[in-house]
Structure 1
């Protein structure tokens, strides 16, 4: 049995993982899903990480922090996942459609440093959504999410402040095994862009699955299959 710590992205909370949690538990694993303080403008990545650690401790009660943690970090959660892996015993860090951090760079600097705007503009043109993506979040984020799940998500919006982007520079990347899972139809972080960042920033070749930016909502079974494959390959 492993303990999965699932870190959600921006404008989100632990509900994002609600289709994944029962699948992991059915496979015999423990699952911890922190709710990061995304609505508090005074909170950035250090505070998000503190919240995740507090949630882990609350989950385990008087027991020691598990030593078999698999941290799964989605989208903006990549920064929190990386910092968390420097502070708790971590067997595996998995980025999922995530913002791969770089030591000495702030989250706010990530966009320009990675060449994100040009990469997204090019992909928007390729998929025929140029000029439309900011008008309807469904075009960018929910295009492959089932209609009922999309409707529920849109009924429960989670405000996101810019606190994370004012955070201090990231430290050295944690010295733990790492995987990077991109989604080939991701309209937020295009696949070719993510392939490049995985190599440049993490020194690895990204793994890939189908679907868009929200795989836990759109394709939970495939996401769990990938996570379990990573776990087995890591010898956990």
Structure 2
């Protein structure tokens, strides 16, 4: 059985995994699903990486499967550089697959433009916030869309502007598995990049970007298979 740390995507929280976790625990896996620090001045990508590293250290975790969905791919990559000997595998779920020095905005310039437009609608002095948007295009049923919209929270802009730090040691980066959601257009390029760099590539055919909510059984099965 595996120890999995599940890292959520933009605007979400640990609650985004609530339909996946019971099935994983029923199989005997140990599962952590932290909520990353909410928006505040000074909170950025480095903050979130440090939180995952601290969780690993606090619980003395070893042989960890770090799972990142969407923006969570940035976070688990950084944590993999910080604690390579503690991590068995990095698993990317329709997520960023960055290199050191790249930010989320570097990898998706169109997102920067969309965030700029959304920020322009915020009150003066809140330009450092990225408000939630775009859930309507992510394959959610009406009830799920209502719940996600109500629970989503803004992000600090620094989460997507800060470049990924490089390795802290000379140890090899943990091996990677990339799970592409076949019905999502957002990270097709990231999946190709991951495959080109030697990651194992799996696909959940037809799955939308928020598959942990819309297709939890197939996500659970893919995570169990990929470890």
TM-score category, normalised to shorter length: 0.7 to 0.9
List per-residue Cα deviations over 1:66-123 (Å, max 9, x = no partner). 21210000101111101112223000110001011012323332224xxx68xxxxxx
What residue is the counterpart of 1:175 in the other structure?
173
1-side partners of 2:38 and 2:56: how far apart? 18
CA RMSD of aligned residues (A): 2.3
Unaligned runs of 5+ in 1: 118-135, 232-236
Runs ≥4 residues deviating over 4 A: none
Structure 1 length-normalised TM: 0.76
> Is this contact kept in 1: 2:175–2:199, CA < 8 A?
no
Unaligned runs of 5+ in 2: 112-132
Cα 1:90–1:35 shift into 2, 3 Å = same
2-side partners of 1:71 and 1:139: how far apart? 28
- Once the 2 structures are TM-superposed, how far is the Cα of residue 160 of structure 1 from its aligned partner? 1.4
Cα 1:190–1:72 shift into 2, 3 Å = closer
What residue is the counterpart of 1:212 in the other structure?
208
What residue is the counterpart of 1:91 in the other structure?
88
What residue is the counterpart of 1:101 in the other structure?
98
> Is this contact kept in 2: 1:32–1:55, CA < 8 A?
no
Structure 2 length-normalised TM: 0.79
2-side partners of 1:174 and 1:81: how far apart? 15
2-side partners of 1:95 and 1:138: how far apart? 20
What residue is the counterpart of 2:13 in the other structure?
13
Give the secondary-structure state (helix, strand or coil) at the position aligned to 1:82.
helix
